[in-house]
């Protein structure tokens, strides 16, 4: 079952991923072509981990 916290964590994880990929080159970093994927193509396990990390940070109040 989806909760508002889960939905927020998912949205933030997606935006983090997209923004990271967008900004990486301007900071002298190039992500590997094999892992440079749009959110819709990120493997389920990776998405799940990113969402869990964001969820924890939301729970701890690090992200508001």
19-23: long-range contacts at Cβ-Cβ below 8 A with a sequence spacing of 24 or more?
none
Supply the pLDDT for residue 1.
58
Q: What is the pLDDT of residues 9-21, one digit of tens each?
A: 999 999 999 999 9
Structure tokens at 50: 């990113």
H helices of the chain, where?
4-23, 44-59
Tens digit of pLDDT for each residue in 11-50? Answer: 999 999 999 999 999 999 988 887 789 999 999 999 999 9
pTM: 0.85
């Amino acid at each position: 079952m989806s909760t508002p916290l889960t939905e927020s964590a998912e949205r933030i994880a997606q935006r983090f991923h997209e923004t990271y990929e967008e900004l990486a080159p301007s900071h002298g970093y190039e992500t590997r072509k094999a892992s440079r994927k749009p959110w819709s193509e990120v493997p389920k396990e990776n998405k799940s981990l990113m969402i869990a990390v964001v969820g924890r940070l939301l729970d701890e109040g690090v992200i508001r």
